[in-house]
Amino acid sequence: MSRSPLPVLLPLSLLLGACTLTDASSATPVWQDDFSGTSLDTSKWSYQTGNGFTAGTDYVAGWGNNELEYYTDRASNVSVQGGTLVITARREKMTGPAGRTTGTFDWTSGRIRTAGKFSRAYGKFEIRAKFPRGKGFWPAIWMLPEEPSPYASWAANGEIDIAEGWGSKPTEVAHTIHYGGVWPNNVYAGKTATYPNAGSMDQWHTYTLQWTPGKIQWLIDGQITSEKTQWWSANKNPPSSDADLNAWPAPFDKPFYLLLNLAVGGNFDGNPDATTPDQGQMLVDYVRVYGMQTETGSAGPRPDMTYPWTPKPARPALSDGNLVYNGSFDWSDTDPRVTPDTTSLSGAANSRFWTLYTSDGQVTLSNDAGALKADVTNAGSVNYAVQVRQDGLNIESGGRYEVSFDAWAQSARPMMLKVGGGQDRGYAAYSGEQTVQLSTTKERKTVTFDMKATTDAAARLEFNLGNAGTGPVWFDNVVVRRVGTAAGARPPAADGNLLYNAAFTQDATATIPGIAGVPGSAYWTTWSNVPERLTTGVSGGVITLNVRDVDPANNWHVQLNQTEVPLTAGKSYTLTFKGRASDAREVAVVIGENGGSYARYLDGKAALGPTEQTFTYTFTAPVTNPAAQFQLLGAVGAAGSSYGLSFRDFRLVQNP
Give the three-class secondary structure for 393. strand
| Contact indicator for 473, 374 with CB cutoff of 8 Å | yes
Give the three-class secondary structure for 164. strand
The CA distance from 53 to 342, in Å, is 45
DSSP code per residue over 201-269: TTS-EEEEEEEETTEEEEEETTEEEEEE----BBSSSS--SGGGBPSTTTTTTS-EEEEEEEEESSTTT
DSSP code per residue over 476-526: EEEEEEEEEE---PPPPPTTS-SSTTTTS-B---SSS---TT-TTBTT-EE
SS3 content of the chain, % helix, strand, coil (to 5): 5, 45, 50
First to last CA, the chain: 37
Q: Of all residues in the chain, what percent carry a pLDDT higher than 90?
A: 74
- Mean pLDDT, rounded, for 610-629: 92
C-alpha closest to that of 372 among 393, 345, 353? 345
- Mean pLDDT, rounded, for 218-223: 97
C-alpha closest to that of 164 among 48, 2, 7, 357? 2
pLDDT score at 141: 98
- Catalytic-residue membership of 159: yes
Positive or negative: CA dihedral 368, 432, 554, 55: positive
Supply the DSSP symbol for 120. B
- Catalytic-residue membership of 164: yes
The CA distance from 487 to 9, in Å, is 32
pLDDT score at 313: 87
pLDDT score at 458: 92
The CA distance from 433 to 628, in Å, is 12
- Mean pLDDT, rounded, for 265-279: 91
Residue 11 has pLDDT above 60, yes or no: no
Per residue in 298-330, pLDDT (tens digit) is: 999 999 998 888 888 899 999 999 999 999 999
* Cβ neighbours for 78, distance < 8 A, ≥ 6 positions apart: 40, 47, 72, 85, 86, 87, 88, 110, 112
Residue 238 has pLDDT above 80, yes or no: no
Buried b (16+ CB within 10 A) or exposed e, 104-135: ebbbbbbbbbbbebbbbebbbbbbbbbbbbbb
pLDDT band at 516 (very low <50, low <70, confident <90, very high): confident
pLDDT band at 10 (very low <50, low <70, confident <90, very high): very low
pLDDT score at 19: 38
Per residue in 342-387, pLDDT (tens digit) is: 999 999 999 999 999 998 899 999 999 899 999 999 998 888 999 9
Per residue in 164-197, pLDDT (tens digit) is: 999 999 999 999 999 999 887 888 899 999 999 9
Supply the DSSP symbol for 39. S
241 CB-contact burial (10 Å; exposed 0-12 / middle 13-18 / buried 19+): exposed
Residue 412 has pLDDT above 80, yes or no: yes
* Distances in whole angstroms, Cα of residue 168 to Cα of each of 400, 533, 623: 42, 28, 36
pLDDT band at 3 (very low <50, low <70, confident <90, very high): very low
Give the three-class secondary structure for 121. coil
Choosing from 126, 159, 295, 564, the catalytic residue is: 159
Q: How many Cβ atoms from other residues are within 10 Å of residue 478's Cβ? A: 24
Q: How many Cβ atoms from other residues are within 10 Å of residue 14's Cβ? A: 13
Which of 104-113, 233-242, 253-262, 296-305 shows the lowest mean pLDDT across its residues? 233-242
| Contact indicator for 377, 364 with CB cutoff of 8 Å | yes
Average pLDDT, the chain: 91
Which of 3-17, 44-58, 408-422, 541-555 shows the lowest mean pLDDT across its residues? 3-17
Residue 21 has pLDDT above 70, yes or no: no
Per residue in 157-167, pLDDT (tens digit) is: 999 999 999 99
Give the three-class secondary structure for 425. helix
> What is the three-state SS of 247-264?
CCCCCCCCCEEEEEEEEE
pLDDT band at 597 (very low <50, low <70, confident <90, very high): low
* Cβ neighbours for 575, distance < 8 A, ≥ 6 positions apart: 589, 591, 602, 616, 617, 618, 619, 630, 650, 651, 652
Residue 16 has pLDDT above 80, yes or no: no
Cis peptide before 581 (omega within 30 of 0): no
C-alpha closest to that of 523 among 539, 507, 545, 538? 507
| pTM tops 0.75, yes or no | no
Choosing from 69, 126, 146, 164, the catalytic residue is: 164
How does strand 111-113 pair with strand 46-47?
Answer: antiparallel
Which of 255-264, 422-431, 485-494 shows the lowest mean pLDDT across its residues? 422-431
The CA distance from 26 to 22, in Å, is 9
* Cβ neighbours for 214, distance < 8 A, ≥ 6 positions apart: 229, 248, 249, 298, 299, 300, 303
Buried b (16+ CB within 10 A) or exposed e, 136-164: bbbbbbbbbbbeebebbbbbbbbbbbbbb
Q: Which residue has the higher pLDDT, 61 or 245?
A: 245
pLDDT score at 426: 72
Residue 22 has pLDDT above 90, yes or no: no
Q: Which residue has the higher pLDDT, 55 or 654?
A: 654
C-alpha closest to that of 261 among 366, 126, 164, 393? 164
pLDDT band at 554 (very low <50, low <70, confident <90, very high): confident
| Contact indicator for 364, 414 with CB cutoff of 8 Å | no
Per residue in 472-495, pLDDT (tens digit) is: 999 999 999 999 998 888 899 999
C-alpha closest to that of 229 among 145, 303, 146? 303
* Residues β-bridged to residue 614: 578
Residue 5 has pLDDT above 70, yes or no: no
pLDDT score at 1: 62
C-alpha closest to that of 196 among 184, 205, 186, 208? 205
